[in-house]
Amino acid sequence: MPDLLHLEIADSYKVSPITSKLLSSLTHQQSGSISLVPKLQSLSLKNTHGDFDDDDSIGMVESRWFKPGSELSMAMLATGRACIRSVVLDFGSRREVDAEIYKPLRKLDAEGLRVVVSGSNGVQV
């Protein structure tokens, strides 16, 4: 899926498709190996099962964000990788969002990434 720009996954099944393996495959690797969707610009994950690895999701988002115009930005674009622009993590009514855990994404939001993390206690990022 090298040309996919927008991805939305909702776990409407008994077993969630949103796994650590999926998040790992979406993570840009420093080694230069290409991730599953290198040009991804927006990602929406709706996880209502409660089984979700916060650290993996944060790491994946951090690996795909770089400030536009930065040296890293130019290097990433040269290898065919796009900077993610929008991330929505929706946990529905089954799980509260711990704002402290998602603090790294608030920093990225302040840098220009559009981030929404919501759960039973409302929007936390």
- Taking phi first (over 0 means left), then psi (-120 to 50 degrees means alpha), and beta for anything else, what does residue 104 get? alpha
Say if strands 42-46 and 86-90 run parallel, antiparallel, or are unpaired: parallel
- In this prediction the pTM is 0.87
Q: How far apart are the first and last CA of the chain?
A: 29
- Separation between Cα atoms, residue 123 and residue 102, nearest integer Å: 11
3-state SS assignment for residue 9: strand
pLDDT single digits (tens) 12-69: 777 788 889 999 999 987 766 667 898 999 999 998 776 778 999 999 999 999 877 7
Q: What is the DSSP letter of 1?
A: -
- Segment 82-110, tens digit of pLDDT: 889 999 999 888 888 999 999 999 999 99
Question: What are the sequence ranges of the domains in the chain?
Answer: 6-123
